[in-house]
Structure 1
Amino acid sequence: MIGRVFNGRYRITERIGIGGMAEVYKAQDQVLGRTVAVKVMLPQYAADPEFTARFKQEAASAANLQSPYIVNVYDWGQDDGTYFIVMEFVRGTDLKSAIQQRGAINQRKVAEIGSQVCQALSVAHGLDIIHRDIKPQNIMVQPDGNVKVMDFGIARAKNSVKTQTSSVLGTAHYISPEQAQGKELDGTSDMYSLGCVLYEAATGQLPFDGPDAVSVAMRQVNEAPVPPSQINPEIHPDLEAIILKAMEKNPVNRFRTAREMKHALDDFMMGRPVNLGENVNSAATQVMNGVVPPISNDVPGGTAVMPAVSSMNGNSGPMKTVDYRAGGKEFDMGKKKSSKRTVGIVIGALVAILAIAGIALAVSGAFGGQTRVPDVTGQTEEAARQAIEAAGYVVGEVTEENSTDTVSGRVIRTDPAADSELAKGETVNIVVSIGAKKGTVPDLNGKTAEEAQQMIEDAGFVAKFGGNESSDAEENTVSRQDPASGTEADEGTTITYWISTGPELTNVPNVIGDDQATARATLESAGFTVSIQDGEYSDRYDEGVVMSQEPNGGQLEAGETVTIYISLGKDPATIPVNVPAVTGMSESEAISELNSAGFTNVGVSYESSNTVPEGDVIRQTQSGTATTDTYIEIVVSSGSGSSSTDDTQPTDPDDSTTQSDSQG
C-alpha cells in the first residue's frame, strides 16, 4: 500500500493504525500539499454492496460535521475497488495510549475531556448521527490538550451491512447493554460508552474486563460497575456520580442529552453544584439480567461485529439496583445470600470502619488536624481566600496565568491541588486566570495549505481548511482567511483558510465562420476583449467572415484578448476575366488595354508583315477568358522584311517604353 496514490491525489506514505474494519495510513494530498490520514476499508467489507451504499451515505454525513472537537472528513471515494476516507491528520496520541502510559488521569482533565467529547456528540446527535463506537482509541489528545473524536458515522455505516438488526457493532469494553442486544439505539448509547471511557481515564482500569469479548459484553449487560472511588479514592463524589449516571443500564436513567452531561461536567470543573437531572433521587443503576451471544474478538480492543439477541435470557426476576451516592455504598451483584449473614457482615464492617475512623480522628486531633484542600476552582480570588482560610489554611502566593478554559479573575487551580490531604495551618497557593492568551493572526497570503496550517498552529491557534475556490491568488495558495491577518484573537481561536484553484476561467467560444460583427458580440458577451486582424484570401471563407482565431477553444480569464482574423475573400488572381482583343492596336495601346483588365504578365514579340503597319499588333496568344495571372503574348508588326522573334519579353504596365526590333 505504501506509495500507492488514491484517485491520483493521495499518496500513501506510512501505516499508522489498524482496526477490525479498516487500516489507517498517513498520506500526502498532492493537490493541496498537506498531510492527511486515509482510512482504507478492509476488502471483506468493501465487497458487500449494501455496506458500500451505506458507507457512501455515512461518509457524506460525517463530512458535514463541523466542530473543533471532531476530526474533519475531507473526502471519500473508491479507487480500483478499494473504499477510502480522507480525514484530517491529527498530531498527538489517542487517549487509550495515554491511559496505558500514565494510568489514572487527573480528574479535572478527565472532566475536560468528557466535556469536549460531549460537545462533539451533541453536534452529531443534532444531525441524527450516532457514533456507536466511542472508545479511548477514537479520542485523540492533541499537543494543546484539546481532543478530537474520530470515526463519526463510520460505525453506523458498518452497523448497516444488513437491513435487519442481526448484527451489533461496537467494542466490548465500551459497548452499551442495548447495543450488545441489537436493540435500536439513540444518543444515550454513546453516553454510556463515554461513561466507560471516563471511568477508565479516572481509575486507570476498565469498568468491565474478562478473558474474552463475550464475557466482557455479558458483564456490560448483567453487572453494575464497581464505584470508581473504590479503585481511586481521590475521585470526587460529583465526578463519580456523573460517570455512574452515564453508565446506567437503563437508557432512561442516563443523561437525556450529551449537552446535559456536558453541563454537569462543566459544573464540576467550575466548582458549582452538579445537577444530575430529574432522576437524581433514584440514583440507581439497574442491572439487566440476560446473556450476550458470541462476539468476534479478532482485534484486541477493536470494534467487534456480533450477532444480536432478540430477547434477554436468564433470570426473569426483578432487576437489582445499586445505590452509588456518597455515604454508604451498597454493591448488590444479584447473588442470593442469607439475610442474617448479610446483616452480620454489614454490622461487622461498620464497626471496623468506625473503629478505624475513631483512630484516625484521634491521630489528627493530636497533630493539629489533617483535612483536604477545598476545591475553589472557578471562584473569585476573594471567595477562594475565604474558603481556604475557613478550612484552616493560610493563603500563600497568588500567581496569574493565561487560560482558555477559565474566565479572567477566576481561580484556575490551587497548589496543593483541590482535595489533597494537608495539615491545617499549611500554606495553599492560588493560580488566578487572566483570560486566554492573545495572539496576532498571521498573514497567510501566498502560503500553501501545509505552510498555513503550520503558521496557524505555531501562533497558538487552531487551523481549519475552509475549502477550495477560484480566485486571483496563485493556484494552490491561500486565497483568503478568517479572521483577517493582523487581528488580535484568543489563543485557541479557529483560523479558517481557503485554497485558490487559480483565477476563474471561461471557455473561449468558437466563432470561426461567423461574420465579423456576430463574432465580436459573442466574444465580448463571454467577457473577452476582441482584436480584429485582416486574414488572407480564401476560397473557403467569404470576404468579411472569421477564418481563424487565437486561441481557438480552451479557457481564459475574463478580460483576456481573443484575436480573430477576417477573410479577404477569393484571390482575384484566381478569378477568370475577359481578355481584351488588342489585335490591330498599336503596341502601347495593346499593353495598356491588357494591363487595365488585370493582365500584367504581357510579353511582346515582333514579326515582319506586309499587311499590318509597323508597330501594330498582328495577333495575341490568349483570347476569351483567363485568370489575370495568365501570360499573354502579343505579336507586333516590324514592317516588311525579315522577322525577329527573339526579342519577346513581358512588359511592365508602369513602363511606358516598349522594345522594338529596328531590323528591317
Structure 2
Amino acid sequence: MNNAAADPLVGTTIDKRYLIEDRVARGGMASVYRGLDYRLERPVAVKVMHPHLAEDAQFTARFIQEARQAARLSHPNIVNVFDQGQDGDLTFIVMEYLPGITLRELLNDFGVLTWEQTLDVVKAILQGLDLAHQAGIVHRDLKPENILMADDGRIKIADFGLARAASHNTQTGQALLGTVAYLSPELVTGSSADVRSDLYALGIMMFEMLTGKQPFTGDQAVTIAYQHANASVPLPSHINPDVPDELDEIIRWSTLREPEDRPAHARALLDQIIRVEQDIKKRVAAGEPTRVMPAASDEADGTQILTRANEPRPHPGDDEPTEVLGRAGDVFAGLEVPDYAEASSTDTPAQAASKPRRGPGAGVWWAFILSALATIGLAVWLFAPQGPTVVTVPSMTGSTVQEAGDALQALGLVVSEELDQAFDDTVPAGLVITTDPESGVDVEEETMVTLIISQGVEPTALPPLLGLPLEESETRLTEARLTLGTVERKYSDTAPSGVITEVTNDAGVTIAPGTELDAEAVVNLVTSAGSLPDVEGLSVEQAQEALQEVELQGVVGGDGEFSETIDEGLVIQYSPSTHDAVEPGDTVTLTISRGPPLVTIPDLVGETIQDAVDALEDLGLEADVRTVLPEDSWSDSRAEVTSVEPAEGQQVPIGTTVAIRSFA
C-alpha cells in the first residue's frame, strides 16, 4: 500500500471518466489500478503502460492494436476489455475488475492442488481459449499470473492479445524467467506461435498445479529455454504419486515438443479432459486406486524415463534407454550452456561423500602456494601503475550465445546471466542481434554486457481490408509488413466498384482480419468491378453501351429466339451473365428477340366446328366462329367448316385470331 499511496496516478481521473483509486499490481509492461467508471458507475481495472514504453510509438501502436483485438472476445472465462485510449502521455486499457487472487497466489498459498481442483481450473481456461482460438487470437503468455480467481468462484484469463505487444519490448530478470518457464519449444526456437503453443503452456501449468513446482528450472533464461527446446516434460506422478495416470498422459500429450503431436485445438484437449475426469471418478467411486501402473524412473541416476505418445510406459527395472534430448534444426540443439549461465549449487550429502578427499599434505601445499600467489599479487597491485583497462565491445551479431559469451569473457568483460530478446528481420532466431552496451563502445574491464537474442522475424496480423479502396488496402498491407500478391476484379451486386471484396493467402484460402501471418507473407486481393447490367428489352446499341460501362463487349450471336414478352429486334439476354463466369474485358453474346413464336394454320376444312376450335386453341390461336348454327350443335357432323382465314399452311404468331366459317 505504501507504493500505491506514493503513486502519482492514485486519486487522479483519466480521460475525464476513470477515477484511479488504488494500485493493485505492477508488471514489466504496465501498472494495474482499481478504478471507478464515472459514466457507468461501475468498478473497473485500468492498466496503464509504463512511461518509458509509451515513448516507443511503434510499441504503443502495437499495444493499442492488440487491445482492440482482445476487446472482440466476450466469454465468461476471459477478462472483458471495455475501453482503450490515451490521455496525454498515458496509454491505458480499461478492463473488467475482478476482486480475488491470481492462480500464482493460490499456488503460493497452497503449494499443490488436488487433481479435481486442477481439472476445474483447466476446464475453465480451455473454455476461454477455445473461443479465442476460434477468433484467431493466440495468448502467447499463458501463465499462473494471468489466470484470475475471483472471490465468487469465477476463473478468467487475463491479458489476451497483449503478450505479442509485450514481446516486442525486451524483457529481463524475473519477468523473463517467469515467462520462459511456460514457453513452448517453437517459441524458444523462434518459430511462429499457434493455438498449440498455448496448450503447451497450459500443460506446464497443469504440471505445476499437481506438483507444486515447474518441470524446468534454472537461474538464467537460457538454461530454462534450453530445457524446453530439448527435454521432455517429466510426468507429474514421479513427484506426486497421487496424480492419476490419465493426467500423466494429458500433460505428456499437451507438452510434446513437436506442435503437430499436441492436441490440434483447445476443444480437442477439453473434450479429452472431460472424458478422463469421468473415467477417474468412476474408478474412484468403485473403490479402485487412482494410480493403475507404477511410475517409471531410472533408479540408477534418477533420470526420468519418458516414452513416445501412445506407447506404454516402462515399469521400474525394464531395460529401456532414456529418451535422447535434442531435435534437428532447433536453435538450441547441441548448445552447451555456457559457464556464466549455469546455476551454482551446493553438493548434496551423497555427492559430497562420493568426492575424493585430499590428504593433509596436499592441503598444506595448496595453502602455501595460495599464500605465495597472494603475496605476489599484492606486490603487483601496490607498485604497478594504477588505472582501469579499457576495452572496445566487439560486434557479436550473428554469433551463438556460447560464442558471444566466450569472446566477451576473453576480453575481460562480464556477461550478464539475463538474456534480452527482440524480433529481428535479418538475424535468425536464437543468435545474437547486438549487445548492451553496443559494439564499438569503449568500456572498462569487468563491465556487465547483456546479450540481446533474436526471436526471428516478428509475426504480424492481417489488418481489416474488406470494403476499403485498393490504394488504402495496399498501404495497410505495407504497414503490417505483408506482401501484396495478385489483384483480381470480380463483379458484385453488393459492393461498389473498386473496393476489396475478398482476401486470400497464397494457397487461395480466404483469410479473416486478425489472422496471424508470417512477416512478408503474400496476400491476394479481389476488388469489385461493380454489378452486371440488366439489358433485357434494350436495343442492341443501348445494351452494348451498358456493357461497355462495366468493361464488357457485347456482340450479337445466333439467329435470335422467339419471345412472347420481348418485341422483335430487342435484346433478350447476354451470356455468360453470372459473376463467376465473366471478368472485365470479356466479350459476351447478345441474344435478340424474334418476337412471338409462329405456328402453321392446319387443314381444318371438313372438320366439325368444335374440332376446329379445339385444334386452334391447342396451337395457341384464337378462333372466331362465323355460322348460323347454334353452339350446342357445333359437334354435329353436319356442322362442317367450309373455310378458314388465314388459310391453311400460313404461319402466324401465337395469339392470332383465325376466322372459321360454316354455311351448313
Question: TM-score, length-normalised on structure 1?
Answer: 0.42
Q: Between Structure 1 and Structure 2, which shows a larger proportion of helix residues?
A: 2
Q: Between Structure 1 and Structure 2, which shows a larger proportion of strand residues?
A: 1
Which one has the largest radius of gyration? 1
